């Protein structure tokens, strides 16, 4: 089952690449939908307290102890589902507009989905590292080939910057992963199975340096302050549908890595560096928020708001508290769901104003009340208005953080007020205020509505019952967090 | 059917109204939308009455019902239910909110008649009432936060209702952000409550708190202070007050609904609701009362100086809410709630009258320009006088009974609480002056241009499409009134709304005459029965002595206003000259905006611009550029990174994944 989820996007991507041009969007769309259906079936079938399920375990390279091993549990199931959901509107949005060399575009986009799903599903540390590294490759092409040059920064150089950052992180992680396997084996049988590694445990001295090798890769991917240097240029260059899934899902792989790899395998180090990580999280929250409200470019506002949101998620994970970690996982799902429509809306706004700069914008709501309401819902979810699922996520994160460190939690809570300011500013400057003469305040079309609204409906449903996610995650997350808590005692 | 059932219905109707109007705005005729809007709130009022009746049928000690629909969220034992709590206090609030809201909806039905966004207005207005009712009925602190934030959001939406007007959007933003700061206070309070008590539902929290906390122990004081941040932000008390005056950018019915009758009193409700916590933290309770006192005095001085009609009433609202905070701070809970109710009556009435006048003035809000309304619009003038009388606590009106009950309780507690009596009376004197400043300025006298037009033609003047705050021209679809707008007070909806409120403002005080009856106190008694403070009462004779003092002060204030604004119209200018320093301070609102700007806004913006201009380029270019440069200088082979090699490497990886894919696909079949 997991095999089919994992490889379906790639297969359909290949088909899209090979079939005549006019069939390519259909092939890609079908691929995304089939993946979504499969992921939904798995999600419905998963037993929240059943540990790792739907396990696929095949020996890959026996001598090195590397297995092709997949599985899904409460931690990964909603992220798999999120991935499957996010790609559908992205493909549909591309299909509705068309693009040059579209077969290749769909292939890259869907290859990216397979790699991302692989990272969420992998239960072998090296397989995880492999997928984690592969993930960036299709996006390198997507951003580089279909990206736009801006303000003297070419799409090429923006992507190179991204790759350099990512590669450094990835190489460190590869070294770390190999080291984990070798040290844990301690001369015996080599294995990279994550569960076995967690059981064997590492000496705390080794944990301490390996921790940072992994942390580097994950923090770059999120991105966290101050490792976000690649983000602004890459975000400005990227084609929007690709950016939507990139920002929604790929950034979560970093946070997921902390939950899946770092906490179970390096619990002592996680406990030891807890305060450092909390401060990095706090820095991301404050810096991301402050930058988000100084920027005028819609992509950068959303990009820096992601830095801040990922900061909250990191805060929740490293509170090493069940409420904080569950809140963080809920928030990963929420943020992913919010970011996809947000970036697509940026595209719609750009089509109406010819710009992504909120400076000269305004008044788009005039003839487009439905469009404005959709954007308003997304904005309110972004700023975690109480009543949205994002609020419950943030609330539990702050609860976890406060149980760990009162001062950090209180400073972090100022991020909530800053978010209110930058998110509302983004909404107001586009939808409200006087309408400039050269802007076309046009209602959202039925076609675009069908692309964006379903995901907004999911946001609203989750707002009424965030427990849908929490009841699925609680057992698995608690088990993960418990390891580090034991280490602390 | 028990009270909880009716409680859910109270919530359901406004929500349904909002959603139905919102979804059908393209097909529904405007009048139908307005009817649905009004009908939803009236239905909620009826259900509120039913809930109250059902509650009163229970014996006093079991007069509270908790009920929950489903589990909203639960992690690590921190369980949050979607639950409501109905007891006399929430029933009382439901009645006040839905009752006054019904009248305001009826008023708006006429007042907003020619506005372009009629559907949007009623959808927002219903949503606001829903949020306020959720706030009031919530059964635990987290759901309270949800209602609290929804109210903030709805008020944002309504303040910036004329959304293409920049002053309005800016005001909306300010209100929203300050309210979010208040929300954060509540977040932390809720988290601390759960940390210390392990529960979050009202009933359980109030039961457990006295067992866990010592009086004035730091942890309970911290919880109460966090609650106060929320309460002060929502109720526009110092230092979170600056948003309220700007919020007057919204349509006038909004000001009546949100900024007088309901939303801004939420903080008072919160303190009354959480009184078992505040009684364990007398330090925080005293702070509540002190902040209330300071706000009531400062707002009173500003109301005397400013000339914008709606802003005068807004500052008066701040000031009256100050009285309510004094009340709940010193333990006079039922007196505070009583004042909350009478204030809702007379303040909503004043705003409605102001709306009628402003419409007739073609959106001009400056009282210096208004003259001769007594003759031009006698009905509105009568209502304005009733509102002003009740506000200044004229003997016999509702405000007289409710305000003095608070001060009487302060006198009864004695000791340093006497300062609340003194301050309260000073505030009452200021109140009488500024209320009748409005009356004496705009009712008598020779008609001004607009009123003359109204007297001659029976129609209001059509204003130019300009922003009243800045004078800048606007596109004609923004703002109010539109081209077709012909209503002053003649519209039936406006008349009904004002007449009923005028009646209530006059006689509402009769519910609670010392020595005769105590309807409000005895109704609320089951909620406050655990409170030793609420069990004590001043004697009837001292209550009447207080009322007599209040009457003297009120009449003296009105007399002074008459002397200043009618008898010696030159006197105010002389006084302004002589006390220039004070006047400058008052008319600039004690520089509240500037202080906030200097202490908060500028530093944050400064950090932002520093980060943007200096730090960020370093991170991006310095760090990345440095890395790339290092890599490049490592040798010619690596220079290929940009072109051939990287692409080759990437393709290699990609083909790898394809190969792996095919391999496993085949194997797994």
Q: Do A322 and B176 touch (CB under 8 A)?
A: no
Q: What is the DSSP string of A79-114?
A: HHHHHHHHHHHHHHHHHHH--TTHHHHHHHHHHHHH
pLDDT of A59 higher than 50: yes
Q: Do B74 and B40 touch, CB atoms closer than 8 A?
A: no
The mean pLDDT value for A23-36 works out to 90
Predicted confidence band of residue A204 (pLDDT cuts 50, 70, 90) = confident
pTM, full prediction: 0.89
Residue A424 with chain B: CB contacts under 8 Å = 156, 173, 176-177
Q: Residue A315: which of A332, A290, A337 has the closest Cα?
A: A332
The mean pLDDT value for B259-263 works out to 82
Peptide bond into A186 cis (omega under 30): no
The mean pLDDT value for B557-582 works out to 80
The mean pLDDT value for B185-199 works out to 90
Q: Do B72 and A3 touch (CB under 8 A)?
A: no
Residue B72 with chain A: CB contacts under 8 Å = 392, 465-467
Closest partner residue to A421 among B177, B194, B661, by Cβ? B177
Q: Do B195 and A321 touch (CB under 8 A)?
A: no
Quick one: what percent of chain B has pLDDT higher than 90? 19
How far does the CA of residue A266 sit from the closest CA of chain B (Å)?
Answer: 23
Buried b (16+ CB within 10 A) or exposed e, B336-351: bbbbbbbbbbbbbbbb
Buried b (16+ CB within 10 A) or exposed e, A340-363: bbbbbbbbbbeebbebbbbeebbb
How far does the CA of residue A193 sit from the closest CA of chain B (Å)?
Answer: 18
The mean pLDDT value for B554-562 works out to 85
Structure confidence at residue B190 (pLDDT): 92
Q: Which of A379-383, B28-32, B179-183, B487-491 has the weakest average pLDDT?
A: B487-491
Which of B11, B76, B161 should one mutate to test binding to chain A, selecting the residue with the greatest count of A CBs within 10 A?
B76
Q: Do B74 and A226 touch (CB under 8 A)?
A: no
- Dist. CA B46–CA B577, nearest whole Å: 54
- Dist. CA A77–CA A473, nearest whole Å: 8
- Collapsing DSSP states into helix, strand and coil, what is residue A32? helix
Structure confidence at residue B621 (pLDDT): 64
**pLDDT for B571-615, tens place per residue?**
777 877 877 887 777 777 778 777 877 777 777 777 777 777 777
- Dist. CA B42–CA B102, nearest whole Å: 6
Q: Do A314 and A257 touch, CB atoms closer than 8 A?
A: no
Query: Structure tokens of B344?
Result: 């809702």
pLDDT of A467 higher than 90: no
Residue A104 with chain B: CB contacts under 8 Å = none
- Collapsing DSSP states into helix, strand and coil, what is residue A20? coil
Q: Do A416 and B183 touch (CB under 8 A)?
A: yes
Query: Structure tokens of B10?
Result: 């109270």
The mean pLDDT value for A450-472 works out to 89
Residue B194 with chain A: CB contacts under 8 Å = 399
pLDDT of B639 higher than 50: no
Quick one: what percent of chain B has pLDDT higher than 70? 88
Structure confidence at residue A84 (pLDDT): 93
How far does the CA of residue A163 sit from the closest CA of chain B (Å)?
Answer: 9
Q: Residue A342: which of A413, A284, A390, A290 has the closest Cα?
A: A390
Q: Do A424 and B145 touch (CB under 8 A)?
A: no
Peptide bond into A330 cis (omega under 30): no
Structure confidence at residue B659 (pLDDT): 63
Q: What is the DSSP letter of A434?
A: P
CA A160 vs CA A139, A140, A164: distances in Å: 11, 8, 6
The mean pLDDT value for A362-385 works out to 88
Any idea which residue has 């107001």 for tokens? A428
Residue of B nearest to A233 (CA): B620
**pLDDT for A174-201, tens place per residue?**
888 888 888 888 777 888 888 888 888 8
- Dist. CA A325–CA B158, nearest whole Å: 37
How far does the CA of residue A94 sit from the closest CA of chain B (Å)?
Answer: 22
Other C-beta atoms lying within 10 Å of the C-beta of residue B196: 18
Q: Do A416 and B163 touch (CB under 8 A)?
A: no
pLDDT of B642 higher than 60: no
How far does the CA of residue B569 sit from the closest CA of chain A (Å)?
Answer: 41
Which of A170, A421, A428, A446 should one mutate to test binding to chain B, selecting the residue with the greatest count of B CBs within 10 A?
A428
Q: Do B616 and A230 touch (CB under 8 A)?
A: no
User: Angle A65-A68-A73 (CA atoms, 0-180°, nearest 5)?
Assistant: 115
Q: Please say whether the dihedral angle defined by the alpha carbons of residues B454, B457, B459 and B460, taken in this order, is positive or negative.
A: negative
pLDDT of B669 higher than 50: no
Q: Do A241 and A109 touch, CB atoms closer than 8 A?
A: yes
Q: Residue B377 contacts by C-beta under 8 Å, 6 or more apart in sequence?
A: B356, B357, B360, B451, B454, B488, B489
Q: Do A432 and B160 touch (CB under 8 A)?
A: yes
How far does the CA of residue A229 sit from the closest CA of chain B (Å)?
Answer: 4
Closest partner residue to B187 among A229, A293, A413, by Cβ? A413
Residue A425 with chain B: CB contacts under 8 Å = 173
Length of chain A, in residues:
489
Q: Do B164 and A362 touch (CB under 8 A)?
A: yes
Q: Do A389 and A466 touch, CB atoms closer than 8 A?
A: yes
pLDDT of B293 higher than 50: yes
pLDDT of A345 higher than 90: yes
How far does the CA of residue B128 sit from the closest CA of chain A (Å)?
Answer: 14
How far does the CA of residue B271 sit from the closest CA of chain A (Å)?
Answer: 20
Query: Structure tokens of B182?
Result: 């208040």
- Collapsing DSSP states into helix, strand and coil, what is residue B366? strand
How far does the CA of residue A186 sit from the closest CA of chain B (Å)?
Answer: 30
Residue A159 with chain B: CB contacts under 8 Å = none
Q: Residue A230 contacts by C-beta under 8 Å, 6 or more apart in sequence?
A: A158, A161, A162, A164, A165, A166, A220, A223, B620, B624
**pLDDT for B506-530, tens place per residue?**
888 888 887 777 887 888 888 888 8
Q: Residue B342: which of B502, B553, B527, B539 has the closest Cα?
A: B502
Q: Do B367 and B312 touch, CB atoms closer than 8 A?
A: yes
Q: Which of A135-144, A309-318, A334-343, B42-51 has the weakest average pLDDT?
A: A135-144
Structure confidence at residue B511 (pLDDT): 80
Residue of B nearest to A421 (CA): B177
ipTM: 0.89
Distance of CA B426 to the CA centre of its chain: 25
- Dist. CA B76–CA A478, nearest whole Å: 8
The mean pLDDT value for A301-328 works out to 91
Structure confidence at residue A478 (pLDDT): 81
* B402 vs B540 pLDDT, higher one: B402
| Mean pLDDT for all residues in chain B | 82
Any idea which residue has 């090296």 for tokens? A126
Q: Do B183 and A326 touch (CB under 8 A)?
A: no
| Mean pLDDT for all residues in chain A | 87
Predicted confidence band of residue B247 (pLDDT cuts 50, 70, 90) = confident
Residue of B nearest to A474 (CA): B75
How far does the CA of residue A188 sit from the closest CA of chain B (Å)?
Answer: 28
Q: Do A433 and B164 touch (CB under 8 A)?
A: yes
pLDDT of A95 higher than 50: yes
Structure confidence at residue B625 (pLDDT): 59
**pLDDT for B401-450, tens place per residue?**
888 888 888 888 878 888 888 888 888 888 988 998 888 888 887 877 77
* B532 vs B86 pLDDT, higher one: B86
pLDDT of A413 higher than 50: yes
Q: Do A321 and B76 touch (CB under 8 A)?
A: yes
The helix or strand, by DSSP H or E, that contains position A40, with its residue range, turns out to be: helix A24-45
Structure confidence at residue B664 (pLDDT): 53
For helices A274-292 and A406-431, give the axis angle rounded to 10 degrees.
20
Which of A152, A367, A467, A468 should one mutate to test binding to chain B, selecting the residue with the greatest count of B CBs within 10 A?
A467
- Dist. CA A178–CA A172, nearest whole Å: 10
Structure confidence at residue B640 (pLDDT): 46
Q: Residue A388: which of B183, B262, B161 has the closest Cα?
A: B183
Predicted confidence band of residue A340 (pLDDT cuts 50, 70, 90) = very high
Residue A432 with chain B: CB contacts under 8 Å = 160, 163-164, 169
Size of interface A-B (CB pairs under 8 A): 198
- Dist. CA A410–CA A398, nearest whole Å: 8
pLDDT of B485 higher than 70: no
Structure confidence at residue A489 (pLDDT): 59
Burial class (CB in 10 A: 0-12, 13-18, 19+), B450: buried
To the nearest 10°, report the CA torsion of A17, A22, A23, A27: 60
Predicted confidence band of residue B658 (pLDDT cuts 50, 70, 90) = low
Which of A294, A325, A372, A471 should one mutate to test binding to chain B, selecting the residue with the greatest count of B CBs within 10 A?
A294
pLDDT of B538 higher than 90: no
Q: Do B448 and B579 touch, CB atoms closer than 8 A?
A: no
Structure confidence at residue A310 (pLDDT): 92
Q: Do B658 and A327 touch (CB under 8 A)?
A: no
How far does the CA of residue A230 sit from the closest CA of chain B (Å)?
Answer: 7
- Dist. CA A211–CA A266, nearest whole Å: 7
User: Angle B579-B580-B582 (CA atoms, 0-180°, nearest 5)?
Assistant: 70
Residue A403 with chain B: CB contacts under 8 Å = 195
Q: Do A443 and A368 touch, CB atoms closer than 8 A?
A: yes
Q: Do B456 and B376 touch, CB atoms closer than 8 A?
A: no
pLDDT of B178 higher than 60: yes
Q: Do A327 and B75 touch (CB under 8 A)?
A: yes
Which of B23, B28, B68, B75 should one mutate to test binding to chain A, selecting the residue with the greatest count of A CBs within 10 A?
B75
The mean pLDDT value for A359-381 works out to 87
Q: Do A323 and B76 touch (CB under 8 A)?
A: yes
How far does the CA of residue B247 sit from the closest CA of chain A (Å)?
Answer: 16
Q: Residue A420: which of B173, B298, B661, B128 has the closest Cα?
A: B173
Closest partner residue to A161 among B191, B475, B624, by Cβ? B624
Structure confidence at residue B58 (pLDDT): 81
Q: What is the DSSP letter of B467?
A: -
Peptide bond into A223 cis (omega under 30): yes
Structure confidence at residue B151 (pLDDT): 92
Structure confidence at residue A57 (pLDDT): 84
The mean pLDDT value for B385-405 works out to 88
Residue A228 with chain B: CB contacts under 8 Å = 619
- What number of helices (H) and strands (E) belong to chain B? 32, 2
- Dist. CA A13–CA A105, nearest whole Å: 9
Residue B656 with chain A: CB contacts under 8 Å = 134
């Amino acid at each position: 089952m997991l095999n089919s989820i994992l490889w379906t996007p790639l297969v359909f991507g290949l088909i899209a690449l090979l079939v005549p041009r006019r069939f390519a969007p259909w092939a890609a769309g079908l691929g995304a939908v089939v993946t979504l259906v499969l992921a939904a079936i798995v999600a419905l079938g998963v037993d929240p307290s059943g540990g790792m399920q739907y396990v696929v375990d095949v020996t890959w390279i026996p001598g090195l102890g590397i297995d092709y091993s997949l599985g899904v549990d409460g931690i990964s199931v909603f992220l798999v589902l999120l991935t499957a959901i996010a790609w559908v509107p992205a493909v549909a949005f591309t299909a509705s507009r068309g693009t040059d060399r579209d077969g290749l575009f769909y292939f890259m986009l869907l290859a990216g989905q397979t790699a991302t799903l692989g990272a969420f599903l992998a239960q072998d540390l090296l397989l995880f590292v492999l997928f984690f590294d592969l993930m960036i490759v299709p996006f390198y092409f997507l951003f580089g080939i279909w990206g736009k040059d801006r303000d003297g920064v070419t799409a090429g150089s923006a992507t190179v910057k991204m790759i350099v950052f990512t590669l450094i992180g990835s190489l460190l992680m590869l070294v770390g992963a190999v080291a984990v396997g070798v040290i844990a084996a301690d001369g015996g049988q080599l294995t990279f199975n994550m569960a076995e590694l967690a059981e064997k445990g590492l000496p705390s001295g080794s944990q301490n340096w390996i921790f940072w090798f992994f942390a580097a890769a994950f923090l770059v991917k999120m991105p966290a302050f101050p490792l976000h240097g690649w983000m602004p240029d890459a975000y400005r260059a990227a084609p929007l549908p690709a950016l939507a899934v990139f920002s929604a899902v790929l950034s979560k792989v970093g946070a997921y890595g902390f939950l899946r790899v770092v906490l179970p395998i390096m619990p002592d180090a996680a406990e030891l560096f807890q305060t450092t990580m909390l401060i990095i999280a706090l820095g991301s929250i404050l810096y991301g928020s402050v930058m988000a409200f100084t920027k005028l470019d819609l992509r950068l506002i959303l990009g820096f708001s992601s830095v801040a949101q990922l900061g909250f998620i990191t805060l929740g994970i490293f509170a090493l508290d069940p409420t904080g970690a569950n809140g963080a996982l809920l928030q990963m799902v929420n943020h992913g769901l919010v970011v996809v429509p947000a970036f697509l809306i940026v595209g719609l706004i750009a089509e109406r104003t010819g710009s992504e700069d909120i400076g000269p914008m305004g008044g788009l709501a005039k003839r487009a009340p439905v469009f404005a309401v959709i954007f308003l819902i997304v904005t309110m979810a972004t700023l975690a208005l109480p009543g949205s699922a994002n609020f419950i996520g943030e609330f539990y994160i702050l609860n976890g953080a406060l149980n760990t460190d009162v001062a950090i939690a209180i400073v972090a809570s100022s991020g909530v007020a800053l978010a209110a300011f930058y998110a509302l500013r983004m909404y107001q400057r586009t939808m409200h205020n006087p309408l400039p003469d050269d802007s076309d305040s046009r209602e959202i079309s039925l076609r675009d509505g069908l692309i964006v609204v379903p995901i907004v409906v999911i946001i609203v449903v989750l707002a009424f019952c965030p427990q849908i996610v929490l009841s699925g995650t609680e057992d698995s997350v608690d088990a993960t967090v418990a390891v580090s808590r034991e280490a602390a005692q | 059917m028990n009270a909880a059932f009716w409680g859910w219905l109270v919530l359901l109707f406004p929500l349904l109204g909002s959603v139905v109007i919102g979804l059908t705005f393209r097909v529904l005729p405007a009048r139908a939308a307005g009817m649905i809007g009004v009908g939803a709130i009236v239905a909620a009022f009826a259900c509120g009455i039913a809930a109250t009746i059902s509650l009163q049928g229970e014996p006093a000690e079991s007069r509270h019902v908790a009920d929950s629909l489903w589990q909203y969220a639960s992690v690590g034992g921190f369980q949050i239910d979607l639950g409501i709590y109905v007891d006399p206090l929430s029933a009382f609030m439901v009645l006040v909110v839905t009752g006054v809201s019904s009248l305001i909806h009826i008023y708006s039905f006429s007042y907003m008649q020619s506005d372009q966004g009629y559907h949007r207005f009623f959808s927002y207005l219903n949503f606001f009432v829903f949020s306020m009712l959720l706030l009031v009925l919530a059964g635990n602190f987290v759901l309270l936060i949800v209602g609290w934030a929804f109210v903030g959001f709805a008020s944002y939406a309504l303040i910036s209702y004329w959304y293409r007007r920049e002053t309005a959007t800016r005001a909306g933003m300010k209100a929203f952000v300050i309210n979010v700061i208040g929300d954060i206070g509540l977040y932390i309070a809720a988290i601390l409550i759960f940390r210390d008590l392990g529960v979050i539902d009202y009933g359980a929290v109030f039961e457990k708190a006295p067992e866990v906390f010592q009086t004035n122990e730091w942890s309970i004081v911290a919880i109460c202070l966090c609650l106060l941040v929320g309460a002060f932000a929502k109720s526009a008390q110092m230092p979170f007050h600056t948003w309220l005056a700007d919020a007057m950018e919204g349509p006038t019915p909004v000001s009546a609904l949100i900024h007088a009758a309901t939303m801004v009193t939420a903080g008072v409700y919160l303190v009354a609701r959480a009184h078992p916590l505040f009684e364990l933290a007398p330090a925080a309770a005293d702070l509540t009362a002190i902040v209330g006192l300071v706000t009531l005095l400062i707002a009173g001085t500003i109301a005397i100086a400013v000339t914008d009609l709606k802003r005068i009433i807004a500052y008066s609202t701040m000031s009256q809410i100050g009285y309510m905070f004094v009340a709940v701070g010193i333990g006079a809970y039922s007196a505070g709630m009583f004042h909350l109710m009478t204030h809702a009556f007379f303040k909503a009435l004043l705003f409605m009258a102001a709306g009628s006048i402003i419409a007739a003035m073609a959106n001009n809000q400056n009282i210096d320009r208004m003259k001769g309304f007594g003759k031009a619009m006698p009905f509105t003038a009568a209502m304005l006088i009733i509102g002003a009388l009740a506000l200044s606590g004229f003997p016999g009106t509702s405000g007289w009974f409710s305000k003095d009950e608070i001060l009487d309780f302060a006198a009864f507690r004695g000791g340093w609480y006497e300062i609340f009596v003194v301050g309260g009376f000073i505030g009452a004197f200021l109140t009488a002056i500024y209320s009748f400043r409005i009356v004496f300025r705009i009712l008598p006298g020779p008609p001004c241009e607009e009123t003359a037009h109204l007297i001659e033609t029976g129609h209001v003047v059509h204003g130019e499409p300009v922003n009243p705050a800045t004078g800048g021209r606007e596109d004609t679809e923004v703002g109010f009134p539109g081209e077709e707008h012909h209503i002053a007070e003649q519209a039936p909806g406006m008349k009904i709304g004002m007449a009923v409120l005028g009646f209530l403002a006059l006689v509402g005080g009769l519910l609670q005459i010392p020595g005769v009856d105590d309807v409000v106190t005895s109704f609320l008694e089951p909620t406050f029965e655990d409170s030793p403070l609420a069990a004590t009462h001043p004697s009837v004779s001292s209550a009447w002595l207080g009322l007599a003092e209040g009457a003297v002060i009120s009449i003296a204030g009105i007399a002074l206003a008459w002397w200043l604004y009618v008898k010696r119209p030159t006197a105010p200018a002389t006084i302004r000259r002589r006390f220039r320093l004070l006047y400058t301070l008052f008319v600039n609102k004690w520089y509240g905006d500037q202080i906030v700007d200097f202490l908060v806004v500028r530093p944050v913006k400064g950090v932002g611009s520093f980060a943007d201009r200096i730090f960020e380029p370093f991170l991006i270019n310095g760090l990345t550029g440095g890395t790339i440069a290092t890599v490049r200088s490592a040798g010619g082979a690596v220079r290929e990174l940009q072109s051939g090699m990287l692409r080759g490497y990437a393709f290699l990886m990609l083909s790898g994944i394809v190969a792996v894919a095919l391999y496993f696909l085949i194997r797994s079949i």
